[in-house]
Amino acid sequence: MSELALQTRGLVKTYGTRKQSYNAVDGLDLEIRHGEIFGLLGPNGAGKSTTVEILEGYRDRTGGQASVLGEDPQEAGLSWRSKIGIVLQSTNDLSDLTVRESLAIFAAYYPNPRQIDEVIELIGLADKADSRASALSGGLRRRLDVGLGIIGRPELLFLDEPTTGFDPDARRQFWALIKSLNEQGTTILLTSHYLDEVEYLAHRVGVISKGQILEVNTPELLGGREDASAIVTYRDGAGQTVKISTDEPTRVVADLAAEHGELSELTVARPTLEDIYLQMIGKNNSE
């Protein structure tokens, strides 16, 4: 079996007429390996959602090639669909059914579904199994959405902005759930505007802009992050915040301490994933 769960070559999606058209996806190349969590990042209008919909089999491409779990999603049938799971940004279906009833309905669509009680336990809704979906909080409803997405034992799970609207504690709990699914062998394609979420979960990250992939790398190495200058920040005697960019932060801190003594609010930090991402997007948009 190929090590790749998903692959595209020169993927194109064109909208409009022959006289006036534009490419929402413009020759996109992407590879995702079996067993990894892959974070796909990009601003609104970059082609991210269109790309994911093509990979899910919900939108036809205009050109290029796509292979998902060894099949063309544009031509694949029900047996292929049973191998993928999809968690959309928001869903309002089955609101009048209980958690258990919702999972039972979805389980009936698959040839070899997980046990319903197993899924309820896995998503942390054992004490809400007989509650209606409409009565669940946003975070708990999102857990149900994941349960519906994994009930069929998917090999590949698409997660679209999974923690939008979550409070910090709910997000951390949800991250643990995603980690546990991946540890059980599920490949995950994650889209998110929370860069800390992507950095915590993803093994690799791809940045998309203007319908093309700018770079694929680990969160630690994306955009040359490991070689980026450190920022030394402190508050001077006049109460002003001072920032110094340097490749020798230890020396700078030692020199500052020797000159000024104890420094207020001293920090040393490398650029965050968000800093690098915004820099990449800004540079590409200016070209």
In the prediction, which pLDDT does 165 show? 74
Q: Is 277's pLDDT higher than 90?
A: yes
Contacts of 202 (CB under 8 A, 6+ apart): 37, 38, 39, 190, 219
| Angstrom distance (rounded) from CA 40 to CA 205 | 6
**pLDDT at residue 269, rounded to an integer:** 87
Phi, psi of 286 (to 5 degrees): -85, -10
Query: Which has more confidence, 147 or 167?
Result: 147
- 204's enclosing H/E stretch is strand 204-209
Question: Mean pLDDT, the chain, as a whole number?
Answer: 91
The residue count for the chain: 287
C-alpha distance from residue 125 to each of 2, 104, 145, 147, 176 (Å): 36, 14, 12, 10, 14
CATH number of 1-79+156-162+186-226+273-287: 3.40.50.300
Transcribe 148-192 into DSSP letters.
Answer: HHHTT--SEEEEESTTTT--HHHHHHHHHHHHHHHHTT-EEEEE-
> What does the pLDDT look like over 61-110, one tens digit per residue?
999 999 999 999 999 999 999 999 998 876 666 788 999 999 999 999 99
- Confirm if 28 and 8 have CB atoms less than 8 A apart: yes
Which pLDDT score is estimated for 54?
Answer: 97
Instruction: Give yes or no for residue 164 having a pLDDT over 90.
Output: no
Report pLDDT for 39: 97
Domains of the chain, residue spans:
1-79+156-162+186-226+273-287, 84-154, 229-269
Residues 6+ apart with CB under 8 A from 126: 120
The structure's pTM equals 0.86
Q: In this predicted model, what pLDDT tens digit does every residue of 30-67 receive, in sequence order?
A: 999 999 999 999 998 999 999 999 999 999 999 999 99
Predicted pLDDT of residue 167: 81
Task: Give tens-digit pLDDT for 181-235.
Answer: 999 999 999 999 899 999 999 999 999 999 999 999 999 999 998 888 899 999 9
Task: Please list, in sequence order, all residues whose beta carbon lies within 8 angstroms of the beta carbon of residue 223, skipping any fewer than 6 positions away.
Answer: 207, 215, 217, 276, 277, 279, 280
